[in-house]
Amino acid sequence: MSGAAKVSQRYRPGVGIILLNSKHHVWIGRRCDITSEAWQMPQGGIEEGETSEMSALRELEEETGVTSDLTEILAVSRGWYKYNLPSKLIKTAWGGRYRGQRQRWYVMRFLGNNNDINIQTEHPEFSDWRWSDHATLERYTIDFKRELYVSLIKEFKAFL
């Protein structure tokens, strides 16, 4: 197998967070780097030396300003979820090293209030945010993550 073929088969290890408010609505943010109406839940890569839980808490704070003392972990996905990037993004995202991500997902209860959310972080990923009912979550999701989100809603329906 050539080097390029090996790279295209790899998935970046990551985490995702389903952050729920007191009404069981899901936090979604509009990505800064995409011009379409693309919203997503917080997510990111697992750094060397981190557990997936450590990564989830770090990513949540980096992307939303929500600190770990303002969350309670309710559930963790039974397994790892994968998604593939569109072919036009594989060469540019993550330096072309991965074809997509494989992620462990966490459901967290948000214990703070909306004033505790700050997307103007050191390296902003989102230009806007809102709470979404899980039934409409799929509508706002970028195409290549839609199937992933449908699967997450199915696994975590009891919390939504």
Average pLDDT over residues 87-105: 86
pLDDT for residue 7: 47
Q: Which pair of tokens denotes residue 129?
A: 């945010």
What's the pLDDT tens digit per position in 33-62?
776 778 999 999 999 999 999 999 999 999
What DSSP character marks residue 107?
E
Task: Output 159 or 121, whichever has higher pLDDT.
Answer: 159
Asked whether the whole model's pTM tops 0.85, one would answer: yes
pLDDT band of residue 91 (cuts 50, 70, 90) is confident
What is 12-68 written as a DSSP string?
Answer: EEEEEEEEE-TT-PEEEEEETT--SS-EE--EEEPPTT--HHHHHHHHHHHHH---G
User: In the predicted model, is pLDDT for residue 76 greater than 50?
Assistant: yes
Domains of the chain, first to last: 3-159 (3.90.79.10)
Share of the chain above pLDDT 90, in %: 68
